[in-house]
Structure 1
Amino acid sequence: MVPTMVLVADDSQDTDRKEALQGLADAVAQRGEAPVVPAFGSGGDVRRAVDSVEGPMVVVPAFVAGGDFASSLVFSDLDLEGRFDACPTAPLGAVPSIVADLAGRLVESGWSSGDGVVLAADGSTGQEERQSVTDVARMLSRRLGSPVQVGYLNSWAPSVGDAVERLRRNGRDRVAVAAWRLVEGRDYERLHEMGATSVTAPLWPSEIVVDSLLAQHRAAKARLAA
């Protein structure tokens, strides 16, 4: 029996996020590899959606590590200890194909060698997610051949705005923001208010995101079968 993929995220405060997340769930389901159940909403909404799934399931964050503070809280509050047929996965992090896609988005947005770069994350309560953001910044820096600063919108410092200003003080007249987030929404729109020269689009839509989520499902499916 193929485990159900349960995609988890908080979309309770944002219509744009709700539409984007549903589009992502539809795209994963269309691959036909596994049944897909969207568990989007507040903590209670997500809990009810997870409880409604019968049989084995793989619970997959529909957000990148450190890229969605609200969703990270919802995911961390899920209690799956009583479900021996459930396997949670970690949020997507420093996946080489995703980082390569982000680098391409920077170039498409107008970045060129010599411009400053800020990797704009959201934050979370977990140190593992913070480390993942650091790893992404290092990988992105190697791919671009240029330093990459990290800035946060919530919970952690420095802020995105502070990181942009620091680069400007250090002589970078042009600063591009690489948005480390899966989907659009109000927090994404805030990035356009930070004084940067350009801001990349969210990582979704991209088939690379769908590929990566399905890869997580396959790995977890193997663990459930062991």
Structure 2
Amino acid sequence: MTPPLVLVAHGTRSARGVEMIAALAEALSAKVPRVHVSFVDVLGPSPSETLRDLGGEAAVVVPAFLASGYHVHTDVQREVEGFDVAVTRAMGPDPVLARVQHRRLREAGWRPGDAVVLAAAGSSDKRALADVRRAASMLADRVGSRVHIGYVATGEPRVADVVEKLRESGQRRVFVASYLLAHGLFQGRLHQAGADGVGEPLGVHPDVVDLVAERYRAGARELARARV
């Protein structure tokens, strides 16, 4: 039997953020037979509760995170312990996400030559920060120039400070590339950073849906190999 997909998100008090995860799961249901959503913080059900409800059935767990920090390496691993699962790579970083960010920037009015700041939520985990740097490098390959990094919640420098320094250095136009999944408090802060434009969150873009579906298929193959 084809294993179900358990999509694991962080959890948020933002209604729009919850709606986005639900919309992502709905879009995935057209590509994956069964999709379940769980959260590691703020909301429920937890991954372990979801897996328990599956009655011991093997499943593919896809972390819906843009960088692999504490939640991916610790929370998710703790939640799936003792269950028959394949845990895939997190969603990001990935060249697919950089491509979507590039499109979001163009939609916001960015043009070649304009400065770009990749805005991430931030983390105290060095592994997650390394992933953000990789994401910035991937986006730089798309825009053809250096991409600066700013954080909106945890870590330094803050997005607004990076925008200000770019202005002081002579950059006439500065745009923020959102490295966030959904609208909410963090995305709202980006519009207060003083940039000329802000890209929309990654959201339920078809390429994002395809990326998660590919993560799922890789996990399903891993489960199948384990049974040979």
Q: TM-score, normalised by structure 1?
A: 0.89
Deviations 1:138-193 (A, max 9, x none): 12112211211000112221111111111111111211000001111111111101
- SS across alignment from 1:93: coil
Letter of the 1:222 partner, please give it. R
What is the match of residue 67 of structure 2?
Answer: 65
What is the match of residue 117 of structure 2?
Answer: 118
- SS across alignment from 1:149: strand
Once the two structures are TM-superposed, the CA of residue 52 in structure 1 deviates from its matched residue by: 1.7
What runs of 5+ residues in structure 1 fail to find an aligned partner?
none
1:121/1:12 Cα in 2 relative to 1: closer, same or farther (>3 Å)? closer
How far apart, CA to CA, are the structure 2 residues paired with 1:221 and 1:125?
32
How far apart, CA to CA, are the structure 1 residues paired with 2:126 and 2:59?
26
What is the match of residue 52 of structure 1?
Answer: 53
Aligned residues: percent identity?
37
How far apart, CA to CA, are the structure 2 residues paired with 1:74 and 1:96?
20
Determine if contact 2:123/2:129 at 8 Å carries over to the other structure. yes
How far apart, CA to CA, are the structure 2 residues paired with 1:203 and 1:188?
11
Letter of the 1:14 partner, please give it. S
How far apart, CA to CA, are the structure 1 residues paired with 2:124 and 2:5?
24
Q: TM-score, normalised by structure 2?
A: 0.88
- SS across alignment from 1:193: coil
Once the two structures are TM-superposed, the CA of residue 212 in structure 1 deviates from its matched residue by: 0.4
What runs of 5+ residues in structure 2 fail to find an aligned partner?
none
Determine if contact 1:109/1:200 at 8 Å carries over to the other structure. yes
CA RMSD of aligned residues (A): 2.0
Determine if contact 1:110/1:198 at 8 Å carries over to the other structure. yes
Bigger mean CA offset, 4-13 vs 168-177:
4-13
- SS across alignment from 1:101: helix
What is the match of residue 75 of structure 2?
Answer: 77
Determine if contact 2:62/2:89 at 8 Å carries over to the other structure. yes
- SS across alignment from 2:176: strand
How far apart, CA to CA, are the structure 1 residues paired with 2:42 and 2:73?
10
Once the two structures are TM-superposed, the CA of residue 43 in structure 1 deviates from its matched residue by: 6.2
Determine if contact 1:9/1:75 at 8 Å carries over to the other structure. no
Deviations 1:59-95 (A, max 9, x none): 11223227xx8xx638732322211x11222322232
How far apart, CA to CA, are the structure 1 residues paired with 2:7 and 2:130?
23
Determine if contact 1:177/1:200 at 8 Å carries over to the other structure. yes
Deviations 1:90-131 (A, max 9, x none): 322232222112112211211112211100001234323222
- SS across alignment from 2:86: strand
What is the match of residue 15 of structure 1?
Answer: 15
Letter of the 2:221 partner, please give it. A
Determine if contact 2:153/2:186 at 8 Å carries over to the other structure. no
Determine if contact 1:43/1:74 at 8 Å carries over to the other structure. no
Determine if contact 1:59/1:88 at 8 Å carries over to the other structure. yes
- SS across alignment from 1:3: coil
Q: How many correspondences in the alignment?
A: 220
